[in-house]
């Protein structure tokens, strides 16, 4: 949903009106990091020039999401805070990679620019601007502190001025609140579900791009849970980083000037880049139907519980990898590992005597049976993977060879250059050619020259196009070696386990004690991750201390391994986390004395910040898929080194290094408004919020000095935006309901929860039903009637409506005459006025056809099979004449002779005084004799 623009002014969307998607959501949760990254450093459009533009882009992104979802009760915005130690390892790897890749890109651009210019190429003048370091999107930086201020202003502005926000409860959990954004959202849902006032039929909508949101949504066991995310569109065009032209990458840039398209380059506009993203809904209720069909088992020795089987499915997905653990070597998600695990699970669950998990806790004795079954198949999995890889490489080489021989010898450029579908230059309208005859002549000359050049060099070049020196043989393209590094593990050959542990862990496979330690750490990780998904963070200190996972066949005797964690652990502080995840290149976001610990060779922790590091592809193809071999941070050594520099922090840095709380906002139309205003006036602390005043939401309210109070001006942190002088919004600190240590949140449907109506049909699952492919029901309304256009509707679209909805666009339909209709039983041609140059005698009209007026010309002159060639040619000339007349006079079709019978239409048709075309002909369905 976008704001409509009228005379250059955007009219805002009224989000208080019913949702056009035919579903009403109660709560909208925003995983803000999925919004911050594409708004600050987008991949498919120019980046914002400064921080203020970034903030405005974030505001507009949230506005668009809000207008699509239109929540009625709650908007929860969560930014990633300090993460658990297990997540910090992945964050450290990503930030070191980002810094390394950014520096490599700058160096590559410099070298390519020098090379292109030395060869006489043309490049636009390099813009001198500071590179945006995306690593600043980390808790504790000045950027994140400013973002929190801007979002507080944004919420106050929208609640004051937008009718869709006036009765809404808004909670902002900024980067000062510890925890990942999506897990802060899950923790809020868990704690509210445990309250007696919670509505079990709340409609949740979560926005985020991470795949684990699907698992987290299933783990809530809420019957109405939907995920909204940007639609993924691969292979989007990106301009060259040197010349800003499309069609090549920086390594292929030759510095050619932009080709002129049209006499004044009026056709030279690039395809639209950075068009607004489209969003899709992922309905977990439909996924639950799929899982119910897939996981339902008969003849179990215990009662089947679908909710418990969903928890087991979520747990088994951890084996293919997540943010905290590497995937098992034998389980690759692209090889159907999840389907393999489900098959093993259904075969083994009869022997386990129960489910693998319960409320987020793992039964290791039953898990061992699953791992034993996977371990038995490991050898065959590795051999099949090798066979598939060899087969794929063979097909790829054959394809490359075929593409070389079948490649077009010449591809026209300029106005006649082929354009990608949907990306025609100059917009969606077809553009007229400029000097088409000269352009065609030049194209033929270029094609002839290219053909001569190809034939001259075809016998003196290799398969890769390089010249063949005299006295040497031509290369064989099929035997070219790949650029991929050799695989020293060779999992498909005997001795794979020995080679794996020697190469990856630098130990001998016969070292049972070390292998046991790796397995124990991995099992401990499985238990930690499951508790993190269902009960919250079990330990802020735990992490998996290896870069690689063990084999499934090594999971023996795991039932007695420890699965409990140290209680009472605390998260890192924001600046401490920056020291744990930042490379030295991003040290400018840290205080000066702290930065010295990352750069000074004499620092006691200098080994935490290597200038360069290896990336192990680990069987993958691309570097981003590999494993960054970085040293793990020792928490005790880090804290000991920081003790000496803590006194150097300024008051502002001390504030940014402290942990904060969520902030709740309401407007004057909210039931909770007066209650909060009284608290602000009285200065009371830690007051329990009444759920009756806030849609069943419960929590503790606490005052702070910088809260927003009604009647006080809210200053804008963005200079381009105005201050809020007439403020009717109040804010207060909010804390989720607290529970005793050891409390277990139930993973089950709540009493009173109503399951949504089924979307999938029973007949869709029958294997015998192969006549029509299964199609899901579109939209949220299961009773939405299907709309079908009849013949008259298609004529209306073709003759009146424009394909091009842009201003001034006449549309593609306007350039074509009406379609030719053949004489058929239930179809008649459209009415058309005969050209003035043609005089055709009209036949006598039947009484039942008198309302229709004169017989259409097409009906009178359709050639028959037995007509002579002269009549056929005459017919073609008539069609050409009518085509030209239609293109010139299609806006004057209303000048046809008025029909005196139109107002007395027997079929009850209403007259349309403003119609510019006659009524359509009878469909022939009824007889009016």
Contact 330, 381 (CB under 8 A): yes
Confidence of residue 898 (pLDDT cuts 50, 70, 90): very low
Q: What is the pLDDT of residue 895?
A: 42
Confidence of residue 741 (pLDDT cuts 50, 70, 90): confident
Q: What is the pLDDT of residue 420?
A: 60
Q: Taken in order 900, 903, 908, 914, is the CA torsion positive or negative? A: positive
What Cα–Cα distance (Å) separates residue 795 from each residue in 829, 857, 886, 916?
10, 17, 14, 13
Confidence of residue 203 (pLDDT cuts 50, 70, 90): very high
Among 147-156, 399-408, 502-511, 560-569, name the one with the lowest average pLDDT: 399-408
User: How does DSSP classify residue 590?
Assistant: S
Decide if pLDDT at 275 tops 80. no
Contact 693, 672 (CB under 8 A): yes
Q: What is the pLDDT of residue 705?
A: 81
Q: What is the pLDDT of residue 456?
A: 59
Q: What is the pLDDT of residue 421?
A: 56
Q: What percentage of the chain reaches a pLDDT higher than 70?
A: 72
Q: What is the pLDDT of residue 5?
A: 66
Q: Taken in order 449, 453, 454, 456, is the CA torsion positive or negative? A: positive
Among 418-432, 879-893, 901-915, name the one with the lowest average pLDDT: 901-915
Return d(Cα 818, Cα 830) in angstroms, integer: 8
Across all residues in the chain, what is the average pLDDT? 79
Decide if pLDDT at 785 tops 60. yes
Tokens of 668: 């004057």
Q: For residues 71-99, give the mean pLDDT.
A: 94
Among 470-484, 647-661, 726-740, name the one with the lowest average pLDDT: 470-484
Return d(Cα 288, Cα 562) in angstroms, integer: 32
Decide if pLDDT at 919 tops 60. no
Return d(Cα 597, Cα 654) in angstroms, integer: 18
> Token match 């992945």: residue?
90
Q: What is the pLDDT of residue 928?
A: 38
pLDDT digits (tens, 9 = 90+) for 24-60: 999 999 999 999 999 998 877 778 888 999 999 999 9
Return d(Cα 913, Cα 897) in angstroms, integer: 14
- Count other Cβ atoms within 10 Å, centred on residue 374: 23
List 228's β-bridge partners, or say none.
Answer: 207, 281
Q: Which residue has the higher pLDDT, 842 or 48?
A: 48
Residue 514: helix, strand or coil by DSSP? helix
Which of 14-23, 171-180, 704-713 ranks highest by mean pLDDT?
Answer: 171-180
Q: How big is the chain, counted in residues?
A: 929
Tokens of 519: 């397995």
Q: For residues 672-701, give the mean pLDDT.
A: 90
Which of 28-32, 210-214, 408-412 ranks highest by mean pLDDT?
Answer: 28-32
**Helices within 11-84 (DSSP H only):** 33-40, 51-69
Q: What is the pLDDT of residue 914?
A: 43
Residue 588: helix, strand or coil by DSSP? helix
> Token match 């709560």: residue?
27
Per-residue three-class SS string for 285-306: HHHHHHHHHHHCCCCCCCCCCH
Return d(Cα 79, Cα 162) in angstroms, integer: 23
Q: For residues 874-902, give the mean pLDDT.
A: 46
Supply the DSSP string of 515-573, one letter for each residue: HHHHHHHHHHHHHHHHHHHHT--S-SS-----SS---GGG--S-TTS-----SS--PPP
CATH architecture assignment, domain 21-82+139-251+276-284+661-773: 3-Layer(aba) Sandwich (3.40)
Helical (H) or strand (E) element with 105: helix 85-118
> Token match 């666009």: residue?
809
pLDDT digits (tens, 9 = 90+) for 325-340: 999 999 998 899 999 9
CA nearest 101: which of 583, 806, 783, 756? Answer: 583
Decide if pLDDT at 827 tops 70. no
Among 100-109, 295-304, 505-514, 862-871, name the one with the lowest average pLDDT: 862-871
Give the global pTM: 0.77
**Helices within 769-921 (DSSP H only):** 791-799, 857-861, 869-889
Return d(Cα 677, Cα 862) in angstroms, integer: 81
Contact 439, 414 (CB under 8 A): yes
Tokens of 553: 């066949």
Confidence of residue 508 (pLDDT cuts 50, 70, 90): confident
Decide if pLDDT at 856 tops 60. no
Tokens of 154: 């944004």
Beta strand spans in 141-265 (E): 169-173, 204-207, 225-230
List 678's β-bridge partners, or say none.
Answer: none
Residue 863: helix, strand or coil by DSSP? coil
Decide if pLDDT at 464 tops 50. no
Q: What is the pLDDT of residue 255?
A: 78
Return d(Cα 540, Cα 537) in angstroms, integer: 7
Q: For residues 828-854, give the mean pLDDT.
A: 41
Q: For residues 496-514, give the mean pLDDT.
A: 90
CA nearest 226: which of 409, 23, 391, 497? Answer: 23
Tell me, rounded to whole angstroms, the distance of Cα 256 from its chain centroid.
35
Among 1-5, 503-507, 596-600, name the one with the lowest average pLDDT: 1-5
What Cα–Cα distance (Å) separates residue 723 from each residue in 153, 160, 712, 719, 720?
9, 12, 11, 9, 10
Rounded to the nearest 10 degrees, the angle between the axes of helix 212-220 and helix 306-316 is: 160
Domain positions in the chain are 21-82+139-251+276-284+661-773
Tell me, rounded to whole angstroms, the distance of Cα 528 from its chain centroid.
28
Q: What is the pLDDT of residue 268?
A: 52
Return d(Cα 447, Cα 449) in angstroms, integer: 5
Q: For residues 357-370, give the mean pLDDT.
A: 94
CA nearest 293: which of 637, 916, 774? Answer: 774
Among 167-171, 396-400, 529-533, 897-901, name the one with the lowest average pLDDT: 897-901
Decide if pLDDT at 214 tops 80. yes
Return d(Cα 749, Cα 306) in angstroms, integer: 10
Residue 702: helix, strand or coil by DSSP? strand
Q: What is the pLDDT of residue 415?
A: 63
């Amino acid at each position: 949903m976008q704001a409509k623009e009228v005379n250059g002014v955007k009219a805002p969307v009224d989000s208080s009106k019913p949702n056009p998607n035919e579903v009403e959501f109660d709560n909208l949760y925003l995983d803000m990091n999925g919004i911050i990254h594409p708004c600050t450093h987008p991949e498919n459009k120019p980046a914002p020039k400064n921080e203020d533009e970034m903030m405005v882009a974030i505001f507009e992104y949230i506005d668009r999401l809000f207008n699509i979802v239109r929540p009625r009760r709650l908007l929860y915005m969560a930014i990633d805070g300090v993460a658990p130690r297990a997540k910090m390892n992945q964050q450290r790897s990503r930030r070191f990679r980002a810094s390394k890749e950014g520096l490599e890109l700058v160096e590559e651009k410099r070298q390519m620019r020098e090379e292109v210019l030395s060869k006489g190429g043309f490049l636009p003048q390099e813009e001198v601007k500071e590179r945006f370091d995306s690593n600043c999107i980390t808790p504790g930086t000045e950027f994140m502190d400013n973002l929190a201020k801007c979002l507080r202003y944004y919420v106050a502005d929208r609640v004051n001025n937008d009718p869709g926000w006036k009765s809404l409860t808004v909670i902002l959990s900024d980067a000062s609140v510890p925890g990942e954004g999506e897990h802060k959202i899950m923790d809020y849902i868990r704690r509210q579900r445990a309250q007696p006032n919670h509505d079990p039929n709340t409609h949740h909508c979560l926005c985020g791009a991470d795949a684990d949101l699907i698992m987290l949504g299933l783990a809530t066991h809420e019957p109405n849970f939907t995920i909204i995310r940007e639609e993924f569109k691969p292979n989007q065009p990106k301009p060259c980083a040197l010349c800003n032209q499309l069609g090549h990458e920086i390594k292929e840039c030759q510095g050619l000037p932009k080709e002129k398209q049209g006499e004044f380059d009026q056709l030279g506009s690039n395809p639209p880049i950075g068009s607004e993203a489209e969003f899709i809904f992922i309905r977990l209720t439909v996924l639950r139907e799929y899982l119910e069909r897939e996981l339902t088992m008969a003849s179990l020795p215990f009662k089947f519980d679908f909710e418990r089987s969903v928890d087991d499915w979520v747990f088994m997905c951890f084996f293919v990898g997540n943010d905290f653990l590497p995937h098992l070597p034998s389980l690759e998600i692209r090889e159907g590992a999840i389907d393999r695990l489900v098959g093993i699970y259904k075969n083994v669950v009869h022997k386990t005597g129960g489910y693998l998990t319960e409320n987020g806790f793992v039964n290791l004795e039953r898990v061992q049976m699953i791992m034993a079954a996977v371990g038995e198949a490991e050898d065959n999995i590795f051999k099949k993977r090798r066979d598939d890889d060899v087969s794929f490489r063979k097909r790829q080489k054959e394809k490359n060879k075929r593409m070389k021989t079948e490649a077009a010898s010449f591809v026209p450029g300029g106005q006649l250059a082929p354009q990608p579908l949907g990306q025609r230059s100059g917009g969606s309208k077809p553009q007229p050619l400029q000097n088409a005859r000269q352009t065609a002549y030049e194209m033929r000359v270029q094609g002839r020259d290219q053909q001569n050049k190809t034939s001259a060099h075809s016998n003196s070049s290799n398969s890769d196009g390089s010249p063949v020196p005299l006295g040497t043989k031509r290369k064989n393209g099929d035997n070219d070696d790949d650029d991929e590094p050799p695989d020293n593990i060779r999992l498909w050959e005997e001795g794979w386990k020995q080679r794996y542990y020697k190469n990856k862990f630098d130990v001998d496979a016969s070292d049972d004690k070390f292998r046991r330690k790796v397995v124990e750490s991995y099992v401990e990780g499985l238990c930690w991750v499951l508790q993190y998904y269902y009960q919250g963070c079990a330990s802020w200190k735990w992490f998996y201390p290896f870069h690689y996972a063990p084999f499934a066949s090594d999971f023996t005797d795991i039932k007695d391994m420890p699965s409990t964690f140290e209680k009472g652990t605390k998260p890192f502080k924001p600046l401490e986390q920056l020291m744990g995840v930042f490379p030295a290149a991003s040290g400018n976001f840290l205080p000066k004395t702290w930065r010295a610990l990352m750069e000074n060779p004499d620092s006691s922790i200098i080994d935490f910040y290597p200038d360069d590091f290896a990336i192990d592809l680990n069987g993958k193809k691309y570097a981003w898929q590999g494993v960054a071999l970085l040293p793990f941070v020792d928490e005790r050594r880090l804290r000991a080194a920081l003790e000496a520099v803590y006194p150097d922090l300024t008051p502002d840095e001390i504030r940014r290094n402290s942990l904060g709380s969520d902030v709740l906002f309401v407007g004057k139309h909210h039931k909770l408004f007066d209650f909060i205003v009284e608290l602000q006036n009285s200065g009371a602390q830690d007051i329990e919020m009444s759920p009756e005043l806030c849609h069943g939401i419960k929590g503790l309210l606490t005052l702070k000095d910088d809260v927003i109070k009604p009647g006080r001006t809210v200053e804008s942190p963005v200079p381009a935006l105005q201050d809020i002088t007439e403020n009717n919004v109040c804010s207060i600190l909010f804390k989720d309901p607290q529970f005793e240590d050891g409390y277990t949140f139930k993973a089950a449907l709540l009493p009173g929860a109503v399951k949504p109506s089924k979307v999938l049909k029973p007949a869709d699952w029958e294997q015998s039903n192969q006549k029509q492919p299964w199609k899901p029901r579109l939209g949220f309304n299961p009773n939405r009637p299907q709309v079908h256009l009849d013949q008259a509707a298609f004529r209306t679209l073709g003759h009146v409506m424009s394909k091009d909805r842009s201003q001034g666009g006449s549309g593609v339909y306007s350039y074509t005459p009406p379609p030719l209709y053949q004489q058929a039983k239930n179809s008649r041609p459209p009415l058309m006025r005969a050209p003035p140059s043609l005089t055709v005698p009209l036949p006598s009209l039947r009484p039942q056809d008198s309302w229709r007026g004169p017989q259409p010309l097409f009906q009178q002159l359709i050639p028959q099979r037995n007509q002579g060639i002269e009549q056929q040619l005459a017919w073609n000339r008539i069609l050409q004449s009518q085509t030209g007349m239609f293109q010139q006079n299609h806006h004057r079709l209303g000048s046809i002779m008025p029909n005196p019978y139109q107002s007395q239409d027997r079929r009850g048709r209403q007259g349309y005084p403003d119609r510019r075309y006659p009524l359509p002909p009878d469909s022939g369905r009824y007889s009016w004799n």
